[in-house]
């Protein structure tokens, strides 16, 4: 593994841990040249379904986009990175278990909203207000009232 700091090709594994769910392996590595440490994650390489956007375009699934959209909704909220990672893993597991070659982006949005609702109600409202493209304050009020129940 190449060092991300100095690009030296010789790095050594210092520590290895398996995630609680057993979904990935976390490795701490140390560069033989600059002695800096960094973390790598090993995940199985699986084929996620293609995402069908509202306009009909098909794009590849990207975990980074999913994490970024959740983090945007969770900005300045008391939710740990581990909780977000677990939520993303549950979403990915559901996508894989569907067994489909294509999934509508709206379905992924619904999965994200379900996970955010469990994690943080404010983040859920933030995401839902953008995702559902509210036209007026009454739609927003209805969502907030739903969350309060």
Is residue 63 domain-resident? yes
Mean pLDDT for 101-128 is 91
Question: pLDDT tens digits for 29-81?
Answer: 999 999 999 999 998 777 899 999 989 999 999 999 999 999 999 999 999 99
**Same domain flag for 33 and 57:** no
**Same domain flag for 31 and 58:** no
Count of CB atoms within 10 A of residue 3's CB? Answer: 20
**Same domain flag for 29 and 86:** no
Residue recorded with tokens 């129940």: 149
Is residue 3 domain-resident? no
pLDDT at position 91 is 95
Is residue 120 domain-resident? yes
Give, as one character, the DSSP assignment of residue 67. Answer: H
**Same domain flag for 106 and 79:** yes
**Same domain flag for 35 and 82:** no
Is residue 81 domain-resident? yes
Mean pLDDT for 24-28 is 93
Is residue 104 domain-resident? yes
Q: Which domain holds residue 37?
A: 11-42
The pTM score is 0.65
pLDDT at position 50 is 93
pLDDT of 116 over the 80 cut:
yes
Q: How many CA atoms lie within 13 A of 16 on its CB side?
A: 6
- Taking each helix axis as running N to C, give the angle between helix 105-119 and helix 121-131, from 0 to 180 degrees, rounded to the nearest 10: 160
**Same domain flag for 132 and 104:** yes
Per DSSP, the three-state class of 90 is helix
Is residue 6 domain-resident? no
pLDDT at position 21 is 77
**Same domain flag for 93 and 144:** yes
Number of domain units in the chain: 2
CA distances from 147 to 35, 47, 50, 118 (A): 49, 35, 31, 11
Is residue 32 domain-resident? yes
**Same domain flag for 22 and 70:** no
């Amino acid at each position: 593994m190449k060092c991300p700091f100095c690009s030296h090709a010789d790095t050594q594994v210092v520590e290895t841990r398996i995630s609680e769910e057993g979904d990935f392996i976390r490795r701490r590595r140390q560069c033989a040249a600059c002695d800096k440490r960094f973390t790598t994650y090993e995940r199985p390489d699986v084929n996620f379904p293609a995402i069908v956007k509202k306009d009909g375009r098909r794009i590849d699934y990207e975990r980074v986009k999913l994490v970024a959209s959740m983090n945007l909704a969770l900005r300045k909220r008391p939710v740990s990175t581990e909780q977000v990672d677990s939520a993303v893993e549950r979403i990915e597991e559901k996508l894989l278990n569907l067994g489909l070659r294509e999934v509508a982006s709206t379905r992924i949005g619904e999965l994200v909203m379900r996970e955010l609702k469990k994690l943080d109600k404010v983040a859920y409202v933030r995401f839902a207000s953008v995702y559902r493209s509210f036209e007026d304050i009454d739609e927003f009020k209805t969502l907030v009232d739903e969350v309060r129940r």
